[in-house]
């Protein structure tokens, strides 16, 4: 995948616009954004949502720190693997907010180790689809009052 900054600069007026498109919840817009490439500039906003540093987000999602820091500066695109992890993290954030209904509670739940998740934090499991499914299932159990 080529990491073009030209396309990003032509199609979005700012990194915040790209983040809004990816994180908006409009499925067709998100699919189109992901197909054309997601700028690394969405990472700082995602880290801010979770109340953690970018370095912590890189570690939790097992993303290449130096490479992504460079891409953020250059406003370059994420690889497909990186963008999938970022998208999964965003989906879990939205679902956690739906279930817990409070930003602070959501941040605590996402970043703290959880016995129902084998002692791992929900965020640390989002580097795989299986981990993502486990986290989403756990949120569903919490929502329905099943001990999680």
Whole-prediction pTM: 0.77
Q: How far apart are CA 89 and CA 106, in angstroms?
A: 12
Q: How far apart are CA 39 and CA 30, in angstroms?
A: 13
pLDDT of amino acid 32: 80
pLDDT of amino acid 5: 40
Beta bridge partners of 114: 120
pLDDT block averages, 10 residues each, the chain of length 148: 40 54 68 85 95 96 96 94 94 96 96 96 96 97 85
pLDDT of amino acid 50: 96
């Amino acid at each position: 995948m080529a990491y073009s900054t030209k396309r990003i600069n032509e199609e979005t007026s700012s990194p915040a616009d790209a983040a809004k498109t990816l994180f908006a919840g409009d499925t067709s817009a998100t699919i189109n954004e992901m197909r054309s490439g997601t700028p690394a500039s969405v990472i700082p906003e995602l880290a801010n949502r979770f109340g953690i540093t970018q370095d912590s987000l890189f570690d939790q999602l097992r993303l290449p720190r130096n490479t992504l820091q460079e891409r953020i500066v250059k406003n370059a695109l994420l690889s497909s693997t990186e963008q999938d992890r970022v998208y999964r993290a965003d989906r879990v954030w939205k679902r956690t907010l739906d279930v817990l209904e409070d930003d602070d509670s959501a941040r605590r739940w996402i970043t703290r180790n959880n016995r129902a998740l084998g002692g791992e934090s929900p965020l640390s499991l989002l580097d795989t689809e299986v981990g993502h499914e486990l986290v989403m299932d756990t949120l569903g159990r919490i929502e329905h009052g099943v001990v999680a």
